[in-house]
Every structure is written in structure tokens, then in C-alpha cells.
Amino acid sequence: MLEAQEIAELVTRAEARIGEMLLEVPKATPNNNPHHENDTAVDFVKPKGEIIRELGFSQKQAERLQKIAENPDVVEQAIAEARENDDIVSRSLILARIKDVELEQRRQSVRTVEPQPLNGKYDVIYADPPWRHDFGDMKNRNVINQYPTMPLEQIKEIDVPSEDNAVLLLWATAPLLDKAISVMEVWGFSYRSCAVWDKEKIGMGFWFRGQHELLLLGMKGEYRTPQTENRFSSVYREARTQHSKKPDFYYDMIERMFPNGKYLELFARQKYSDKWTVWGNAL
């Protein structure tokens, strides 16, 4: 009689084989009309999506099976570890391991731009640090799968080339609000206020499902406040797009709030315009 562990292994290998077969099915043929005069029965192949539906799989299920098939080493390692620990291998475990492998590969392949020495000092600093979140068992969260993050102490050690009188606009997620304020203080700025970016799309969270990010404003020394006509609402609403990308709206907002500033963006992922000096990682 088969034990549960053996059954789980058989199921895992069967799913991997199904995934292999799905990978072999072409997504489309040059002409998939079986009644076309130049087609033959041999040449005709049903669209892959139709085959998946006929097999009773959803598109998501099919993608997961193909992902398992693409990572045979991960599958075999998971089975071996399950045997060693007298445990049962599962699809969710294998997919989590694959996520870990992909994360490491992505981190290795990210093009990191070595920060160049900056000339002079800046009085308007805009920063979106690659915060390191602690998601516990949520290993497959996309938030940590996009680019290399930095530990808090390493972020604090950055020597920000700010003038004696300057303003800092610092992005922070709700769970890291206290850490962001501590970074602001170490960098020499005192917290003054904040704005909210409403991303429109709801996300994940242990307490509240996050739908916003905070833009903290800190001041160093004495810095002029914006003219009345250049003071914006504290809430801006725009749907989030790719991971970590902030709306271009905020560049325009900062330039209007501080029109004569010398602008520096830390951890820049793009160069918005020639008005800005950028420093950090470009993705």
C-alpha cells in the first residue's frame, strides 16, 4: 500500500510531466483553420488555450504546471528533502522554492549603476530608498522580488550632500514609517509633514491591505515654504503601474513647490529631466 509521501511524489512527478507536455504545445500555428485548402490534418494544431480548457485546467493552473516543468532541479531537491525529513512534498512548496530561485537570479541580473561622486550640495532632495521589508512567511511577495534591497543601517550610512538649509522628500510605506523618520533624522532633517499617494489598487498587508504610500517632508536648517499657489493637496490619486515606480506628477509638484531648487534624486530609477541630478540604481 502506498504511503502518503509516495503518493505525493507520484502526483508531483505527474504534474511536472503534464507541464512538460504543455510546454511542447505551440501557442499558435501559421494557419490553424482545418478547412484551409493548404492545411492537412497533420498540420493543424489547436490553439494552446483551447487545449488547456479541454483538459480542465485554468490558465493559472497551466502556468504553474509549466513553471514546475521548467525547474526539474528544484522539484528533485524538494522531493529529496521531503524524504529526508519524512515530510510530504507539495506543489505550493515547490512553487515557493522556484520563487526563491527566480528572486536570486533577478537580484544577480539587476543592472546596478555605481553611484558617481556628486559635485557640490543640493537643497531639494528626493529619495525612494529600496527598503527591506520583513514579510515573514510571505516568501513569494512581488514586493521583494524586483530589485536588491538595502538594510536600514546601510541606508542610514549614506552621506547625503545637502546644503545647510534644505528640504527632503522621502518615500515610505506604512509599515516602515518609524524607520523612515529615523533615516530622515540621521540624514540631518526634521520631520515636518507628509503627503499620501492613493494607488487606487488595493494590495496586501497583515493589518490593513495597503493602498497608499507616504511622502514624508523634512527640513534642515531654515528653508522657505512654497508660495500659496504652489501648495498642493496632501492626497494624490493615480493607479500604480510597475513596481516601485512613482507617478511623474511628484517631479512636477516638487519643481513647482521649490522652483529655484538644486534638485537631487537618491536611488533614482530614471532621470526625469536635465533639472535633476540622479544618484543610485537604474532599473
Whether 116 is covered by a domain: the verdict is no
**Strands ordered across the beta sheet of 263-266:** 235-237, 190-198, 212-220, 162-172, 122-127, 263-266, 276-279
User: At 138, is the pLDDT very low, low, confident or very high (cuts 50, 70, 90)?
Assistant: very low
**3-class SS at 176?**
helix
Whether 80 is covered by a domain: the verdict is yes
What per-residue string of b and e applies to 112-143 under the rule 16 or more CB within 10 Å gives b?
Answer: eeeeeeeeeebbbbbbbbbbeeeeeeeebeeb
**Which residues neighbour 161 within 8 Å (Cβ) at sequence distance 6 or greater?**
118, 120, 121, 122, 264
For residues 247, 244, 276, 160, the Cα torsion angle rounded to the nearest 10 degrees is: 130
Whether 117 is covered by a domain: the verdict is no
Asked whether residue 101 falls in the same domain as residue 137, the answer is: no
Whether 142 is covered by a domain: the verdict is yes
Which is nearest to 56 in space by CA: 22, 12, 26? 22
Paired sense of beta strands 276-279 and 263-266, if any:
parallel
Whether 63 is covered by a domain: the verdict is yes
pLDDT digits (tens, 9 = 90+) for 190-235: 999 999 999 998 887 788 988 999 999 999 999 999 999 999 999 9
> What total of structural domains would you count in the chain?
2
The last residue of one of the domains, among 109, 140, 171, is: 109
pLDDT digits (tens, 9 = 90+) for 14-49: 999 999 998 988 765 555 454 555 544 445 567 788
Asked whether residue 136 falls in the same domain as residue 263, the answer is: yes
Asked whether residue 181 falls in the same domain as residue 83, the answer is: no
Asked whether residue 139 falls in the same domain as residue 270, the answer is: yes
Asked whether residue 176 falls in the same domain as residue 229, the answer is: yes
| Domain extent at residue 196 | 122-279
Asked whether residue 145 falls in the same domain as residue 210, the answer is: yes
Q: Which run of H or E residues covers position 84?
A: helix 72-84
Asked whether residue 135 falls in the same domain as residue 96, the answer is: no
- We report the CATH number of the domain holding residue 205 as 3.40.50.150
Asked whether residue 99 falls in the same domain as residue 239, the answer is: no
For residues 61, 81, 107, 91, the Cα torsion angle rounded to the nearest 10 degrees is: 10
Residue range 81-94: mean pLDDT, rounded: 85
Asked whether residue 29 falls in the same domain as residue 143, the answer is: no
The last residue of one of the domains, among 109, 131, 157, is: 109
Please report, for residues 52, 80, 146, 213, the alpha-carbon distance to residue 239 in angstroms, rounded to integers and kept in the order given: 32, 44, 19, 12
The last residue of one of the domains, among 109, 136, 162, is: 109
The CA-CA-CA angle for residues 138, 141, 146, to 5°, reads 140
**pLDDT reported for residue 220:** 97
Asked whether residue 128 falls in the same domain as residue 105, the answer is: no
- More confident site: 146 or 259: 259
pLDDT digits (tens, 9 = 90+) for 88-125: 888 888 998 888 887 766 655 544 444 556 778 999 99
Query: Is the pLDDT at 273 greater than 80, yes or no?
Result: yes
Whether 100 is covered by a domain: the verdict is yes
Residue 190, Cβ neighbours under 10 Å: how many?
Answer: 12
Whether 13 is covered by a domain: the verdict is yes
Asked whether residue 74 falls in the same domain as residue 192, the answer is: no
Asked whether residue 139 falls in the same domain as residue 267, the answer is: yes
Whether 248 is covered by a domain: the verdict is yes
pLDDT digits (tens, 9 = 90+) for 147-157: 567 889 999 99
